[in-house]
Amino acid sequence: SPPAIIAPSILSADFAILGKECSDTISQGADWLHIDIMDGHFVPNMTFGAPVVTKIRPHVERPAGAYGRGTFDCHMMIAEPKRWVRDFQKAGCDLYCFHYEAAISSTAADTPSGVSSSQTSPRELIKFIHELGMQAGIAIKPKTSVDVLWDILESPVEAERPDMVLIMTVEPGFGGQSFMASELPKVSALRAKYPELHIEVDGGLSGKTIDQAADAGANVIVAGSAVFGAKDPAEVIAKLREAVEK
Ligand code: DX5
Ligand code: ZN
């Protein structure tokens, strides 16, 4: 498996001092920052957009290479994911992770003809993200079958293949929900076929649930409330890492 990557979700940080929260979590041993972007449409909650990412970027040193420490892992829980790729690249996003469900759903919101310019195939979108110099991730919600991913992972065109798959272990929208172990067979199925793929799990990860996720083969671990709610976040980060590495 690829190395353990611990990605605290800043959804549970104190937004009033976000820059400091971001640099603190990196000094406490985090690898990436998991940045949850919600539009109140794809999910029933809102967070923030590219301007906030721009402002926190100077607080965290840019990663030396792909997947390095300080990677901004932007989890785009938004409709029309293609529309925001350029803005997030400019803001300092390193890994743009969109939802499969959002990419395939058509929306008539942005053209007079009713044909959306933003509807896009996942493969095209991955290629576009790569063209802008970012890593590409594809996320699926609990109700989406892992089977939708095989074709995308097997694309004959390398630039159309994702660098990471995100298996949601809660319904996206809120921090602090209970971990859904029912989603782990998706992780095992992916890991069996792709020993080197970055597989991220997100939602309800903590010292209590990490072993199951690690055993299934996840290597990128998102944790929001477990890290930012802890008395000793460094200890939680170290424990999560140890569980994945063991
Ligand atoms: C949920 C978000 C998660 C969330 C996880 O929609 O995608 O990243 O912050 O929070 P916890 O770790 O508290 O479940
Ligand atoms: Zn997330």
Strand segments (E) across 92-197? 95-99, 135-140, 164-168
Number of H helices, E strands in the chain: 10, 8
Write out the two tokens for 137: 């991730």
Any residues with CB less than 8 A from the CB of 102 and at least 6 apart, and which?
42, 76, 77, 78, 79, 80, 81
Residue 137 phi, psi dihedral angles, 5° rounding: -120, 150
ipTM of the complex model: 0.99
DSSP 126-146: HHHHHHTT-EEEEEE-TTS-G
Cα–Cα distance for residue pair 85/47, rounded to 1 Å: 17
176 annotated to bind ligand: yes
**Chain-centre distance for alpha carbon 9:** 9
In tens digits, what is the pLDDT along the chain, a chain of 246 residues? 899 999 999 999 999 999 999 999 999 999 999 999 999 999 999 999 999 999 999 999 999 999 999 999 999 999 999 999 999 999 999 999 999 999 998 654 555 554 455 557 999 999 999 999 999 999 999 999 999 999 999 999 999 999 999 999 999 999 999 999 999 999 999 999 999 999 999 999 999 999 999 999 999 999 999 999 999 999 999 999 999 999
Mutational test site, ligand 1, from 202, 209, 210, max ligand atoms within 8 Å of CB: 202
Query: Is 175's C-beta closer than 6 angstroms to any atom of ligand 1?
Result: yes
